[in-house]
Amino acid sequence: MIEQGFLLNKDQLKPIVDGFMHEFQTGLKTPSKGLATMIPSYVTKLPTGEEQGTFLSMDLGGTHLRIAAVELKGQGKTEVRELKKSPSPELKTGEGEVFFDWIADAVQEIIARESLLFNEQQRNGKETISLGVCWSFPVDQTGVASGTVLRMGKGFILKNVEGKDLAELFHAAFRRKNLNVVVTAIVNDTVGTLVAHAYTNPKCRIALIFATGINAAYPEKVRNITKLDDREKYASDAKMLINTEIDIFGSEKYLPLTKFDLQLDKSHSQPKFQLYEKMVSGAYMGELTRLIAMDYIHEGSLFEGKVPKGFDQAWCFPTANMSTLENNDHEGISHIFNHFSVTPTSEDIELLTRICRNVSTRAASLVSVAIISLIEQQQLWNRQEHIIIGINGSTFQYYPHMDSRIRNVLNEWYGTDTTGRIDLEVASEGGSVGGALIAMLAK
């Protein structure tokens, strides 16, 4: 079986868990130089669920920009009125100023559209409106509302942005557009998800994003974050939410990289960056599947050894196609094959579906490594309580059987008793609510 290296058992996962645990320790003590991991968020409180008020928030991910007016209603309830836009490939790879102006225009649009939520002074620019920013990219935080933009990923290669202060980039755009808006909180999407999920379930202790990218956040004892200056100013039992940037964990030394992972990395615009993310997340699983399928075609066992039209183009097979195949969605499947102008046999469909299953099962195993290492780091297993994990992202929510595949790995690792106490909850409110809550908690 060509995709043999994709099936990982407990013994093969162990060195990766150990490697991740080691990276937690080094990341907590090593001040960042450029690419950082274990980034302190400066957020030391989780919400109780009773917070109330209306806040403006902005959430930028790999595919969408969401600007939202978020009403926190108490009792864990929220109402989100959002404006959703997608940046064009030109915007994602162009001049930073143009990109931030585009965001400022969207902020202006929502203030006009949801004008009833703002008072007259705010509408006419006399009173400042606070904005919580949720940023699904690495930022080396220097405070709750400031941080240096690091290398972005997800197709973003903005000019004149890396190394600059994120809040300043926004404020400059707001000044150019005459907007009286100020950034009062900046959070990574994982931290936003942890806070947002804790609003509905205050026991949540791990947030995981499993979407286009992968990453996780958790509360760490401040006394363990030895790279943090002025640790003494926090209470002795204080905890701070940490953005692990687990997406860049691991190296060739201990990640079980196959020749397909190396091939994918080589053809990527940012090679050697986010090797772990490239093995698991929604942006990449489709391409891994395609690369494996190409080997089967060359061997003669798929599509009669003939490459379907366009199938040799890198990135032409999105991860959503894998869901369609694994869901056995006949109409969707015909659509995929029509696109590649090929009439498959039932064996072709079966083989391609098996590749999808193996690629996504490996993703489930490697994502479980992130979960296990975060449970270990906080020693959550030795309490008798439920371990609440809030997971946000399309790959977790919509990829068939992802939840049960992750559970299988946890069962193999911890046994059924402990796994029975691990609750993988869909954290449907992510960045927007998280950004708003932190803007509020920071106030």
- Chain residues binding ligand BGC by CB under 6 A are 136-138, 153-154, 188-190, 209, 211, 213-215, 245, 247, 277
- Crossing angle of helices 189-200 and 431-442, in 10° steps, is 80
> Is the separation of the CB atoms in 260 and 287 below 8 Å?
no
| Identity of the residue, 181 or 367, whose beta carbon is nearer to ligand BGC in the bound complex | 367
The tokens for 265 are 């990395």
Taking the complex as a whole, how short is the minimal distance between the CB of residue 193 and ligand BGC, in angstroms?
Answer: 9
Q: Are strands 77-85 and 387-392 parallel, antiparallel or unpaired?
A: unpaired
Residue 28 corresponds to which tokens in the numbers above? 């907590």
Question: Minimum CB separation from ligand BGC for residue 400, in Å?
Answer: 21
Taking the least distance from each CB to ligand BGC, the nearer of 297 and 427 is 427
| DSSP sequence for 176-202 | HTT--EEEEEEEEHHHHHHHHHHHH-T
Tokens of 3: 């995709």
Q: Which residues contact 200 (CB under 8 A, 6 or more apart)?
A: 49, 76, 429
Task: Point out the residue whose Cβ comes nearest to ligand BGC.
Answer: 213
Q: Judged by CB, which is closer to ligand BGC: 191, or 351?
A: 191
User: E strands of 164-303, at which residues?
Assistant: 181-188, 204-210, 214-221, 239-243
Q: Which is nearer to ligand BGC, 149 or 355 (CB)?
A: 149
- Residue 299, judged by CB atoms within 10 A of its CB (0-12, 13-18, 19+), counts as exposed
Alpha-carbon separation of residue 239 from 42, 43, 46, 198, 220 (angstroms): 10, 9, 10, 15, 5
Minimum separation from the CB atom of position 390 to ligand BGC (A): 13
How far is the C-alpha of 98 from the C-alpha of 104, rounded, in Å? 10
Q: How far is the CB of 227 from ligand BGC (least distance, A)?
A: 18
Q: How far is the CB of 166 from ligand BGC (least distance, A)?
A: 12
CB of 370 to ligand BGC, least distance (A): 11
Nearer to ligand BGC among residue 213 and residue 250 (C-beta): 213
Q: Quote the least distance from Cβ 263 to ligand BGC, whole Å.
A: 20
Nearer to ligand BGC, 189 or 348 (CB): 189
CB of 148 to ligand BGC, least distance (A): 13
The nearer residue to ligand BGC, 167 or 333, going by C-beta atoms, is 167
For ligand BGC, give the closer residue by CB, 179 or 204.
204
Alpha carbons 153 and 270: distance in angstroms, whole number: 7
State in angstroms the smallest separation of the CB of 61 from ligand BGC: 6
CA distances from 428 to 80, 194, 196, 219 (A): 12, 11, 9, 20
**Looking at beta carbons only, is 209 or 436 nearer to ligand BGC?**
209
